[in-house]
Every structure is written in structure tokens, then in C-alpha cells.
């Protein structure tokens, strides 16, 4: 614990974690622990507008401050961004600012709030650490999951961090969305913006075909099913048709979830352990589900996170091109389909 930082004597705190979807979710437990340890603190959270719904109704927050990042286009809108910061952040003057993002942009936003003490990571990039009053060292940074990094940041300033089973991801209940069926369903999120991470449409079709007795709900942003490929008869097409709150609602009600390595995968992992995360070249211990009882697949391994040894599946960025045509050869599709059928048939 840093002896010069005492949240017990402070009244207000600002969380700076604007993006991305997965990163905001990873920060939830640390902020929840901060609130539980120092419930008197008035905590505000600066977050990109598109991710603000994740924080709706969060019991640990006084207010959510939406950052209109998409309204600013590079250096041309620098003046607009500075004016927004001076009007919105400067009046806050919190006792404590925690920069979980660790980039130059987030450090500048943190300083714009004119807080008494700005805290961030020593391992922050782009020179961000030089804007902090305290830079916290996280040993083993490169081999530590983001959730644990953020918990260590608050732990270093006196926040009580409980055992893993007591860690919470406060998320809203979500918004209902009408489905054409009422029975149990598998939620399938097969697409990612990252290179070499997405299933292709024929793999999705093949997987659904092997799960013909299972109702599948297909979700994903910015994707349209190709007109020259028949849509699976046992699936419901919600591609590009769900809001973030609706996606949360679906994840809470799915009997099981299959997702590629993506932001929505981390959202699913925050909601339930009944998840299989598909990894190609990324390290599932570093960027996969944080829950030890969630499932992962990589390079022939299909098991729970708890069964993976450190360093067993290192990141292999050079392999990204191998998976551009698709990530699941026929035998792997069959293996995963059998696993999913077992999960869906469990009482």
C-alpha cells in the first residue's frame, strides 16, 4: 500500500477508463472493490458514450460521464476536445483520479479533471506515467490478466481485494428482445474485429447443422449473412440487430454461450461461466475469460481455464494469417458441436 494515498480521507474519485468493451468490463471488479472498501467516496466514471450502458445502475457510481470520442476526428478537433474537457472535467476536482487506460490520451483526460492525486500504472504506454502523481508497479505485468492488473492497482492504494470467488462484475439486467421461440437456446457470437479470430459463414452453418436439435441465436455487430448461403433452419438471425443492453439480456438467459475471442466474449464471461471461448493465436490465460470455471479452446485443447498452465499457449501473433480463411477445420467443428450438445442437454 502506498502510504501517501489514503482513500479513507478522500471524498471523491474519478475513474478514467473510456474503452474498449472488454477493457471496461475488466475494470468493473476493481471499481466495485473501491466502492465496497470506501463506500463514502463519490465515484464518477469517464467512459466512451457507446459503452456507457454497461454502467447503467451501477451501485458504486455517483455518475457516468459519457466521453463523445467519436465526435472528434484527429488533430482537427483538438480544440473541441480541449473545450469539452475544460467544461466537463475541470469542474470535478476529485481527490483521487485512477487512470486504468494507461495511454497518453487517458492521462491527459485524467489531468484535465484537476484532481488532487492522479494514479496510474508504471507500465502505461505513450509516456502516460509522467502525468501521474503515483505510478503503481504490477509485478509480472506481461503475464497478468487485465482484471488482476486493475485489482492490483486499487489494492496498492489500500482497497481490500477479496478472494476470486467473491469478485463481482456489476452489470445491468439488460433490455428484453423478442425471440421467435421460448425454449433453451445457445447464444453464438462467431465474429471478431481482430484478424485471425473469426469463424467464417460456412463454419457457422456447419456448426449449426451439427446442432440441429439445438435452438441457436446468432449475434454480432457489423455483419450481414451472405445472400448466397442458406441461413441455418435451427438458428435465429440477430446479426446487427441487438443493442448492448439487449446482448446482456440474451447472455443472462442463454443456456450456453459460444464466442470467439472478442469484447462480447468478455461480457459473456462477466455474466456466466457457461461459456466456451475460441482462441487461435491469443493466450487464453491473458486475454480469455477471467473466470476459472469458464471453458476455452485452443490448439486442440478444450477445457476449463483452471486447467491451463502458465505459458502453455503463448501469444503467436505471427500466426494470424493462418486463420483468415477460417478458424475451425471440419474435425474441430465436430468436436465443438459434440461438446455444445452435451452442455445443452445438461439439466
Query: Which H or E run includes 207?
Result: helix 201-210
Alpha-carbon distance values, 3 to 16, 114, 120, 122, 158 (Å): 22, 22, 16, 17, 9
> Among positive and negative, which fits the CA dihedral 262, 263, 269, 275?
negative
Strand (E) or helix (H) holding 261: none
What the block records as the C-alpha cell of 1 is 500500500
Hey, which CATH number is domain 186-345, 3.40.50.2000, 3.90.1300.10, 3.40.50.720, 1.10.40.30?
A: 3.40.50.2000
Domain over 7-166 is classified CATH 3.40.50.12160:
no
- Per-residue pLDDT for the chain (347 aa), expressed as one digit of tens each? 454 788 999 999 999 999 999 999 999 999 999 999 999 999 999 999 999 999 999 999 999 999 987 777 766 667 788 888 899 999 999 999 999 999 999 999 999 999 999 999 999 999 889 999 999 999 999 899 999 999 999 999 999 999 999 999 999 999 999 999 989 999 999 999 999 999 999 999 999 999 999 999 999 999 999 999 999 999 999 999 999 999 999 999 999 999 999 999 999 999 999 999 999 999 999 999 999 999 999 999 999 999 999 999 999 999 999 998 899 988 999 999 999 999 999 86
Residues forming CATH 3.40.50.2000 domain(s) in the chain: 7-166, 186-345
Amino acid at each position: 500500500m502506498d502510504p501517501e494515498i489514503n482513500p479513507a480521507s478522500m471524498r471523491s474519485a474519478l475513474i478514467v477508463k473510456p474503452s474498449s468493451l472488454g477493457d471496461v468490463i475488466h475494470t468493473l471488479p476493481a471499481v466495485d472493490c473501491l466502492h465496497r472498501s470506501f463506500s463514502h467516496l463519490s465515484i464518477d466514471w469517464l467512459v466512451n458514450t457507446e459503452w456507457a450502458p454497461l454502467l447503467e445502475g451501477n451501485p458504486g457510481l455517483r455518475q457516468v460521464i459519457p466521453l463523445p470520442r467519436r465526435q472528434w476526428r484527429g488533430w482537427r478537433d483538438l480544440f473541441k476536445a480541449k473545450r469539452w474537457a475544460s467544461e466537463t472535467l475541470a469542474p470535478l476536482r476529485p481527490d483521487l483520479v485512477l487512470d486504468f487506460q494507461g495511454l497518453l490520451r487517458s492521462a491527459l483526460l485524467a489531468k484535465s479533471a484537476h484532481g488532487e492525486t492522479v494514479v496510474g500504472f508504471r507500465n502505461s504506454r505513450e509516456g502516460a506515467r509522467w502525468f501521474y502523481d503515483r505510478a503503481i508497479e504490477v509485478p509480472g505485468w506481461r503475464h497478468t490478466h487485465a482484471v488482476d492488473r486493475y485489482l492490483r492497482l486499487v489494492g496498492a492504494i489500500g482497497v481490500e481485494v477479496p478472494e476470486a470467488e467473491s469478485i463481482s462484475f456489476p452489470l445491468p439486467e439488460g433490455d428484453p428482445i423478442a425471440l421467435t421461440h421460448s425454449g433453451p437456446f445457445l447464444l453464438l457470437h462467431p465474429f471478431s474485429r481482430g484478424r485471425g479470430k473469426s469463424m467464417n459463414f460456412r463454419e457457422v452453418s456447419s456448426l449449426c447443422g451439427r446442432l440441429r436439435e439445438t435452438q441457436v441465436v446468432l449475434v454480432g455487430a457489423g455483419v450481414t449473412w451472405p445472400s448466397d448461403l442458406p441461413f441455418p433452419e435451427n438458428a435465429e438471425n440477430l446479426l446487427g440487430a441487438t443493442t448492448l443492453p439487449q446482448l446482456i439480456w440474451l447472455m443472462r438467459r442463454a443456456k450456453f454461450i459460444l464466442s470467439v475471442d472478442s469484447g462480447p466474449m468478455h461480457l459473456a464471461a462477466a455474466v456466466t461461466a457457461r461459456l466456451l471461448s475460441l482462441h487461435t493465436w491469443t493466450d487464453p490465460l491473458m486475454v480469455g475469460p477471467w473466470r476459472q470455471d469458464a471453458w476455452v479452446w485452443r490448439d486442440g485443447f478444450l477445457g476449463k481455464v483452471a486447467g491451463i498452465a502458465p505459458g502453455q499457449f503463448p501469444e503467436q501473433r505471427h500466426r494470424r494469417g493462418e486463420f483468415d480463411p477460417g478458424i475451425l477445420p471440419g474435425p474441430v467443428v465436430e468436436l465443438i458441436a459434440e461438446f455444445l450438445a452435451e452442455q445443452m442437454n445438461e439439466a
